[in-house]
Amino acid sequence: MMAMTILHHLLFAVCVTLATFTQCLTGFAFGLVLLGLVAVFHLAPLLVASNVVMMMVLANAALLVRKMPDVPRGIITPAFGSSLVGVAIGVFLLDWLSGNALGIVRLTLGIAILACSMMLVVQAKSRPQLSSAGTFVFYGGVSGVMGGLFASGGPPMVFHLYRQPFDRLVVRDTLVLLFAANAVLRLVMVLARHSFDGTSLALSLEALPIVLAVTWLTRRYPPNWSPVTVRRVVFVLLVIAGVSLAVPAIRQMLPAAQGSQFS
């Protein structure tokens, strides 16, 4: 990895600021926005950026959650269990793909970001009754795999939980705890595989004060934007990041696929 210049560090700070602001406006998407922007500007490898997101998720959980959310154990236990299994699968997938198919990693991340952007324009209606435990197992597993791959498993579980008849604060705390549990397991696995290097630590320390400051400022002086304006701004940001990742990855993969047909 080429050493980051002062300009790179400034650009990284801007990316962290935008990702944190997005998180404050929507309640999710910090990881996907930061990963997308860092990848678009080639500021750090995806593995390093994922490590930074993981540390910020843990910091966010320490600041926000003070008690267990009021969610039935019959729901939260299978969701957390399948999510942790998914994290382990995602970490192994990331190791394999990073060494064998980096283009697939970038394409997958781009698609995940685009899917996240679609969630902002699709209005999910709340269900009158709780979904079955099996659906929580499914969405928890998918979120876990995304969390293992990119340290950001938000969209599937966010979409599912916000459709349940829960208070929004309960949903927020449940999501924060779920992602924190995923981050703890991912951190243990990353440390065991010696994949958390000095760059990951340095960028995490660099991002932490920005995250804290932007979060405090946004809560103290919330922007007077309508929900529609918020969705549109974040939607555009996510689409730009997603397309910027997916299109180059597809272009790189097409010649390889065509070459294999003629070989």
- For the cut 70, the answer to whether the pLDDT of residue 120 exceeds it is no
Q: Which two tokens stand for residue 184?
A: 């703890």
Return all residues near 20 (Cβ < 8 A) that are at least 6 apart. Answer: 30, 210, 211, 214, 215, 218
CB atoms near residue 153 (< 10 Å): 34
The pTM of the full predicted model, rounded to 2 decimals, is: 0.80
Largest CA distance in the chain: 61
The per-residue pLDDT for range 50-93, each reduced to its tens digit, is 899 889 888 877 776 666 777 777 778 888 999 999 999 988 88
- Asked which of 4-8, 18-22, 252-256 is least confident by mean pLDDT, the reply is 252-256
- Taking the mean position of all CA atoms in its chain, how far away is CA 105? 14
Q: How many CB atoms lie within 10 A of CB 12?
A: 23
Outline where the chain has alpha helix (H).
6-26, 30-40, 46-64, 73-100, 102-121, 133-150, 154-161, 168-192, 198-220, 227-262
For the chain, which residues make up each domain, given as ranges? Answer: 6-262
Distance CA 172, CA 187 (A): 22
pLDDT in tens, 152-200: 766 778 778 878 887 777 777 788 788 888 889 999 998 998 888 999 9
Tens-digit pLDDT profile for residues 225-254? 876 777 777 788 788 878 877 887 787 777
Q: Pick from 104-113, 122-131, 165-174, 194-203 the range whose average pLDDT is largest.
A: 194-203
